[in-house]
Amino acid sequence: MTEPREWYVLLHAPGPAIEPEQNVFEHPGIGEHFAFLQRRAAAGELVAAGPMADVRGHGMTVLEVATLADATRLATEDDLAVVNGVLSVEVRPWRVVMSR
């Protein structure tokens, strides 16, 4: 059992720049999202990230940063795929009470 801590879940979906039948992963702007993930990994903040298997174009990222404000700022300002409307994001705090 681990001490309770808070991680932040970024729930991603296709943004307003994506047409209804367009695959978000084929949009040239999705590379900005992958760059965002690489920056968070390099900073030691990325816990996990990947697409949802059951809903096309949706995915989840888990960050371990100091505050919800930090997570929200990173998700909405540092991820240029979100800034440019390729992805939308919802940031949720997650109280982790058990992990490996």
- Does the structure show a pLDDT above 80 at 31? yes
Q: How far apart are CA 36 and CA 57, in angstroms?
A: 17
Contacts of 86 (CB under 8 A, 6+ apart): 14, 15, 17, 18, 24, 27, 29, 30, 32, 33
User: Domains of the chain (ranges plus CATH)?
Assistant: 5-96 (3.30.70.1060)
Stretch 64-85: mean pLDDT: 98
Stretch 61-77: mean pLDDT: 97
Of the pLDDT bands very low, low, confident and very high (cuts 50, 70, 90), residue 3 is: confident
In the numeric block, the tokens 């968070």 are attached to: 40
- Does the structure show a pLDDT above 90 at 35? yes
Q: How far apart are CA 35 and CA 41, in angstroms?
A: 10
Quote the percentage of the chain above a pLDDT of 70: 98
**Per-residue pLDDT, 7:** 97
